[in-house]
Structure 1
Amino acid sequence: MDNAKAGLSNTYLTFYLDQDLFGLNIDSVREVLEYTSITKVPRTEDYMLGVINVRGHAVPVVDLRVKFGLGQGEKTVDTCIIIVELSIHEESSIMGALVDGVQEVLDIPPEQIEKAPRLGSKIDTQFIRGIGKLEDKFVIILDIQSVFSVEELSSITEKSDQVSAESVASGTG
């Protein structure tokens, strides 16, 4: 795996979903927020939790556990929202990802990252950039841009834009 070709660093924010350790390239991470109340958006996918207010902007929040088929987790003191930057139709957009807890920021050299293994035709690994090997554990490195299809991302941002417009119209935003 060569991040240099992709214009990415070899630094990753690591986080937990259930007992598994995942990583996001730090270049796509804007900030990490404590868990806060989320305003539900009607008629959205199960993984779309709703929107939160980040400095006056409605930011959609998705539950990565649900998106990955792990079911909903219990909210704990470690539960947090990672704000990531994505490109949708060549425009920059931000989104929150609910995770069980953030671990640390790590440098993982390219030689310690293997390509995602082929897990059969029923398991989609296109959103896995690679598997980082750290001493006694693995880090599943995600390509956050590929976790959601362009259609899903467009739908998520459209719904959050609707909520934002409605809150401005009602004077609550």
Structure 2
Amino acid sequence: MQQAGGKSHRADVTRRFAIFFIDETQLGVDIARVQEINEEPAVTKVPLARDYVRGIMNLRGQIITIIDLRRKMGFTGTALREDKPGLVIVNWNGEQVGLLFDRIGEVIEAAATDIEGAPANICGTRGEFFQGVLTTGKQRIVALLDIDVVLADG
């Protein structure tokens, strides 16, 4: 955005992110993509599905695919809260998709100037899954997921 005189107000632009965890890695999803956040409901396994597809669920009459982000992103080990992982329902290509995380964090607001490009080797996982890195005043680093890339990748 520019005002008269050519000054930019880009630094004034803020975005909100829902924060989730896989192990101790903090991941952010643009809140505009999030429909709802819950604990994992009952999931029905799908035969012959990819290993990162946890299954499907019925959400108020709509069938939703549930993706295990720990597996999809190549994290090893078991979840910190295997009993009740966090579930975020996101909008993607006109559909709803459920993403499982180890645990749910909070919603934070960030200035555009706090967001940097993501290094290719971020978190030792697949760097193409990230649209950037957010640093906050608490010396906290949050890897921002690119939902379109995460879900489009076969």
| TM-score normalised by structure 2 residue count | 0.82
Letter in 1 for 2:88: I
1:115 maps to which residue? 117
| TM-score normalised by structure 1 residue count | 0.73
Letter in 1 for 2:18: L
Q: Take 1:69 and 1:23, find their aligned partners in 2: how far apart are those partners? A: 17
Q: 1:75 aligns with which of 61, 82, 86?
A: 82
Letter in 1 for 2:90: V
Unaligned runs of 5+ in 2: 1-9
Higher helix share: 1
Q: Take 2:92 and 2:14, find their aligned partners in 1: how far apart are those partners? A: 16
Q: Take 2:89 and 2:28, find their aligned partners in 1: how far apart are those partners? A: 14
Deviation sequence 1:86-119 (CA, Å, 0-9, x none): 01xxxx0110001111110001111111101133
Q: Take 1:9 and 1:65, find their aligned partners in 2: how far apart are those partners? A: 28
Given the alignment of the two structures, is residue 148 of structure 1 paired with residue 151 of structure 2, yes or no?
yes
Unaligned runs of 5+ in 1: 153-173
Letter in 1 for 2:99: A
1:165 maps to which residue? none
Letter in 2 for 1:94: Q
1:51 maps to which residue? 56
2:142 maps to which residue? 139
Offset at 1:145? Answer: 0.8
Between the aligned residues of both structures, percent identity stands at 29
Offset at 1:80? Answer: 1.8
1:85 maps to which residue? 91
Offset at 1:148? Answer: 2.7
* RMSD of Structure 2 on Structure 1 (CA): 2.2
CA pair 23-16 structure 1, distance change in 2 beyond 3 A:
same
Letter in 2 for 1:59: I
Q: Take 1:16 and 1:123, find their aligned partners in 2: how far apart are those partners? A: 14
2:104 maps to which residue? 102
1:16 maps to which residue? 21
Q: Is the 8 A contact 1:47 1:66 kept in 2?
A: yes
Q: Take 2:74 and 2:95, find their aligned partners in 1: how far apart are those partners? A: 25
Offset at 1:85? Answer: 0.3
Q: Is the 8 A contact 1:9 1:26 kept in 2?
A: no
Q: Take 1:38 and 1:149, find their aligned partners in 2: how far apart are those partners? A: 22
Residue 145 of structure 1 aligns to a residue whose secondary structure is: helix
Q: Is the 8 A contact 1:9 1:25 kept in 2?
A: no
